[in-house]
């Protein structure tokens, strides 16, 4: 990438700078369900691949395009079929740089009712399901447990022209069912 290759920024001393969390996680209860909020630090897609082992097959994928830069409309793109872990890993491998460095989207990987992983455009991963086991693995990998992981306010989302072709390519990769964005998708 020719410009800053980060997707989330914040203002410090009047300048937009990269947000980079320390590798950490926090427990959170939302809607009566416990989840982990994980700040990967770096290599969020690699961590997502590792955490995928906690979800049983088959897997549903939801790609949420919040800020399109091409011809595709904003919206929620749910995979039309269930996928194997190998197919999801191939998607993550193929589109890893796009998913990791561009702030136009979120990616949900789900195995209902066992759990789900959400790679959020705010540089965090939300993990539902076997949170105790996931927390133990994170701790074993040097992640620190925190009281909370907070997205800075104000913050900015970065989009990279050199990744624009991947917006189209990911939507051509599988058959998707398109739906409208939900109010919470654009937070």
What mean pLDDT is reported for the chain? Answer: 93
pTM of the model: 0.93
Residue 146 is assigned to a structural domain of this protein: yes
Rounded CA-CA distance 122/44 in Å is 11
Domain count within the chain = 1
User: Quick check: helix, strand or coil at residue 161?
Assistant: helix
User: Quick check: helix, strand or coil at residue 95?
Assistant: helix
Cα–Cα distances in angstroms (integers) from residue 26 to residues 40, 107, 119, 152, 183, in the given order: 12, 20, 15, 16, 24
Residue 17 is assigned to a structural domain of this protein: no
What pLDDT does 15 receive?
83
Is residue 17 pLDDT above 90, yes or no?
Answer: no
Categorize the per-residue pLDDT at 4 as very low, low, confident or very high, splitting at 50, 70 and 90: low
Residue 8 is assigned to a structural domain of this protein: no
User: Quick check: helix, strand or coil at residue 118?
Assistant: strand
What pLDDT does 187 receive?
66
What pLDDT does 2 receive?
38
Rounded CA-CA distance 45/99 in Å is 7
pLDDT > 90: percent of the chain: 80
Domain residues for the domain of 107 are: 23-186
Rounded CA-CA distance 68/74 in Å is 6
Residue 13 is assigned to a structural domain of this protein: no
Residue 165 is assigned to a structural domain of this protein: yes
């Amino acid at each position: 990438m020719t410009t800053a290759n980060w997707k989330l920024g914040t203002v410090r001393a009047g300048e937009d700078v990269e947000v980079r969390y320390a590798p950490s996680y926090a427990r959170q209860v939302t809607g009566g369900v416990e989840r982990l909020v994980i700040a990967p630090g770096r290599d969020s897609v690699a961590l997502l691949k590792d955490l995928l082992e906690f979800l049983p097959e088959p897997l549903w994928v939801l790609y949420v395009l919040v800020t399109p830069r091409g011809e595709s409309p904003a919206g929620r793109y749910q995979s039309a079929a269930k996928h194997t872990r190998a197919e999801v890993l191939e998607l993550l491998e193929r589109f890893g740089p796009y998913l990791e460095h561009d702030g136009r989207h979120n990616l949900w990987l789900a195995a209902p009712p066992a759990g789900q992983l959400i790679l959020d455009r705010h540089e965090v991963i939300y993990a539902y399901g076997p949170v105790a086991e996931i927390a133990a693995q994170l701790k074993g990998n040097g992640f620190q447990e925190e009281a909370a992981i907070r997205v800075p306010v104000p913050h900015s989302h970065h989009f990279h022209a050199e990744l624009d072709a991947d917006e189209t390519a990911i939507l051509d990769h599988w058959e998707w069912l398109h739906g409208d964005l939900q109010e919470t998708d654009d937070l």
